[in-house]
Amino acid sequence: MFVYICTDSYWRPMRNTLAFTLLAICLVGTQAHAGDQAGRIKKAVHRSTLDQPGTKPFHLKAVLAPSRARDNDSGRTGEVEIWWKSPTEWKREVRCPIFHQVQVVNNGQVWQKNEGDYFPEWLRQTAVELVQPIPRLDEVLHQIDSGEVKDMMGSTYISWMIPSSNGTAKSWMGATVAINDNSGLLFYGGGSGWGGLFHDYADFHGHMVPRTVAVGSPEVTAKVTVLEDLHDSPGMFDTSAGGADSPALETVLLDEQTLRRNLLPMKEAAWPAVKDGPLEGTVTTEVAVDRAGKVREMGPLVSTNTGLNDTARAQVEAMRFQPFQQNGVPVQVVGRITLAFKTTRP
């Protein structure tokens, strides 16, 4: 399985526009408890997950580009290529304009080479979603116990809310799994540190694999151009070669309280007066922080007063953190930030 370190069971805002649409749609439709949907989700995930025991060794290649023309200048273009022999023996190469990584895993040994100091979170997530539609299934199955079920437009949506807090103010962000009722396959999923929209399924040795996967905000579409049997070559999974980066670059998921322990002092946000909406509330978003402690990416804002979103975004972008470490090694981190606001009328 791909190296994907999670330090807490917490989290996350949905990363593409559809997720927020789904949250609104979920206000209508037939309501039920989500617990009896666990079997359907497990079956759908098993059918579409490539990097699991029993999968025939494969070679996959995908090209990445913005889903919408308005985001063509976002820099979110690239490629993902994977050579996979087993859950413990695989090679992956990812590339975008600011980053290039080759990583080889062989029975617990890792060889990694990076060009660029920051592994974009949107690129990392896309590489995972191509082979793991729901990367941490056990966590999702635990969370959906508190969810609700809606039947809409030929699909079943299981939605639940995940709390976050800055220590005093509490907020909530949604997560969803949607299954197509006709095919029994995943249509959409988004939650703690993962998310994707899945289309164009095709068979690969008994697995139904989505050939189009959309991830993130601004949304990126990954189109699988190659999915074939692996033609092994000598040395493909050799981790003893020289030239590797040490230590390897890793991304860690953190809950908000752990993330905030490294937040450096900064000025409080100067909230502007607003004509409409609540005068007190919260704004929450997801952030990706590089190994130097700088915020490099932000997800969509979930706010009780959208008139304050610009101020909230500027405040989060200005945050700086003491670099995070795991076992004494600097790591990238992903987590939530919640801001509490209090303002007045003009």
pLDDT of residue 296: 98
Please state, in angstroms and rounded to a whole number, the distance separating the CA atoms of residues 313 and 345. Answer: 21
Domain 251-342: give its CATH code. Answer: 3.30.1150.10
CA-nearest of 14, 52, 49, 51 to 189 is: 14
Domain boundaries, the chain: 5-225, 251-342
pLDDT in tens, 7-39: 333 333 334 444 443 444 343 444 466 767 999
Helices in 172-294 by DSSP H: which ranges?
256-260
pLDDT in tens, 46-102: 999 999 999 999 999 999 999 999 999 999 999 999 999 999 999 999 999 999 999
pLDDT of residue 20: 40
pLDDT of residue 35: 67
Please state, in angstroms and rounded to a whole number, the distance separating the CA atoms of residues 134 and 49. Answer: 8
Are the C-beta atoms of residues 20 and 300 closer than 8 Å to each other?
Answer: yes
Reading the block at residue 43, the tokens are 């079956």
Are the C-beta atoms of residues 221 and 211 closer than 8 Å to each other?
Answer: no
Helices in the chain by DSSP H: which ranges?
17-25, 38-48, 121-129, 137-143, 256-260, 309-317
Q: Tens digit of pLDDT per residue, the chain (346 long)? A: 433 333 333 333 334 444 443 444 343 444 466 767 999 999 999 999 999 999 999 999 999 999 999 999 999 999 999 999 999 999 999 999 999 999 999 999 999 999 999 999 999 999 999 999 999 899 999 888 888 999 999 999 999 998 999 999 999 988 999 999 999 999 999 987 799 999 999 999 999 999 999 999 999 999 999 999 999 788 999 999 999 999 999 999 999 999 999 999 999 999 999 999 999 999 999 999 999 999 999 999 999 999 999 999 999 999 999 999 999 999 999 999 999 999 999 9
Are the C-beta atoms of residues 276 and 307 closer than 8 Å to each other?
Answer: yes
**What backbone torsions phi and psi does residue 6 show, to the nearest 5 degrees?**
-125, 120
Chain position carrying tokens 């900064």: 266
pLDDT of residue 216: 93
